[in-house]
Every structure is written in structure tokens, then in C-alpha cells.
Amino acid sequence: MELTRAQEIFDQLYGNLPGYEIARAEKQRTGRGDASITYGEVLPAPFHEMVSAVSPKPGETFIDLGSGTGKATLLAAMLFPFSRLVGVELLPGLGDAARQVLQRYDAEFRPQLPPEHHGQRIEFIDGDMLEVDFKDTDVVFAHGTCYSPQLMQQLAVKLEELKPGARAVIAGQTIQSPAFSLLGMKVMRADWGSSITALYQRR
């Protein structure tokens, strides 16, 4: 789907959704105060540019590690020919919000979209990205500017389980692993500011 049409649907889905407030309330409710759960959201055009740079192919799969209210996952579904998309999020209130948006997408928008969108499987799961099995995923996205060094170290080890040819788009962080070749570095603008985004391919 064209970016302009995806942006229109995205605006209708997310126009009134207070992602930052939900994140704040969830931090209080869960008592978590670590930097890794600092909230922030992608913007459609910069996200489109980042994922385009790793050339998703029809039938490939996508995961957003730390998916918040689901913006990156739903944009990826609208903009690219992924067959399966997963968002994994630690704070359940954000996951609930993402699942509600997905319900609206399915009811109000998806039926009118071209057929290639009808069969896409989209799911938001609650949990820790380090405990999710995503080794068969083709394109991994992480808006990880605030992820702690410890989380990034553990994530780098997990990313090594990806199959050769898989790509990782990591905003705000780099991974140090000989298992990956660096495809490029780009600046990604988000709703809170900009971060250097590293694009990797599993060797």
C-alpha cells in the first residue's frame, strides 16, 4: 500500500490513542522504573524509509521487539508484503491498546484493502522479548534507543539465532557481533526526536 494511504489509516487508528499516558500508568502499576521501558513511537514516513532499506520480500515475517501500542507492526503490515507480523511488549496495558487498535483495523479497514492484506497474520503478545522465540523471523525491528546495555547484550546473543539473510533494524543502538554485516546507518526521526538506526544482515 502507498505510504499516503497507510498514513491516512494510521491517523484514524491512532488519532486519539494516548500511548504515553498508558505507558506512564503501566510503569506506576507495575512499579518498573528502568530506562529500557522509556516510551516513544515511530512516525510513518521515517519508519517506511528504514524498513524499505532492508527490502522486505513477499511472504517474509516481521517482529517488533518492544511494540508499544503497535504502531510499527501495523505500519509494517500496511506498507510491506509480510505474511506474518508480531509485536511483543513487556507492559500489558500497551499490549491491550495494540490489540484494540488491531480489532478496529480488522473490522473497519482491512476488508477494504487490496487482497494481499487479507491473509496477513498479525498478533500482539505480552512478554519479554528475551523470552520470545523469533529465530525464524526475516525482519526484526527494535526502537531501542533507551534499551539498557544489559538488554542489548542479551538481545545481540538472541539475534545470532536468526537464520542467514535475516535483517535487523535497530534504532538508537548498535550490536557488536561478528554474525552480522552492517548494511548501513540511517537517521530515523520519531515522535520524540531522532536516532541513528543501524541496519544489519545475518551472515
Ligand X SMILES: C[S@@+](CC[C@H](N)C(=O)[O-])C[C@H]1O[C@@H](n2cnc3c(N)ncnc32)[C@H](O)[C@@H]1O
Which residues bind to ligand X, rule: CB under 6 A? 36-37, 39-42, 64, 66-68, 71-72, 88-91, 94, 128-130, 143, 151
The b/e string for 73-102 (b: 16+ C-beta within 10 A; e otherwise) is bbbbbbbbebebbbbbbbbebbbbbbbebb
In this complex, which beta carbon is closest to ligand X, that of residue 60 or of residue 89?
89
Helix (H) or strand (E) holding 168: strand 167-171
Backbone angles phi, psi at 164, to 5 degrees: -55, 135
Backbone angles phi, psi at 131, to 5 degrees: -105, 5
In this complex, which beta carbon is closest to ligand X, that of residue 166 or of residue 169?
169
Give least dist CB 201 to ligand X, A. 21
Strand ordering across the sheet containing 121-126: 121-126, 84-89, 61-65, 139-143, 167-171, 193-202, 180-190
In this complex, which beta carbon is closest to ligand X, that of residue 86 or of residue 162?
86
Give least dist CB 203 to ligand X, A. 25
Indicate the length of the chain as a whole number: 203
Distance CA 17, CA 82 (A): 25
Q: Is there a contact between 1 and 113 (Cβ–Cβ < 8 Å)?
A: yes
Give least dist CB 40 to ligand X, A. 4
In this complex, which beta carbon is closest to ligand X, that of residue 64 or of residue 138?
64
In Å, the largest CA–CA distance within the chain is 45
Q: Is there a contact between 77 and 121 (Cβ–Cβ < 8 Å)?
A: no
Give least dist CB 171 to ligand X, A. 8
In this complex, which beta carbon is closest to ligand X, that of residue 13 or of residue 72?
72
- Within 13 A of 38's CA, how many CA atoms are on the CB side? 10
In this complex, which beta carbon is closest to ligand X, that of residue 35 or of residue 182?
35
Residue whose C-beta lies closest to ligand X: 66
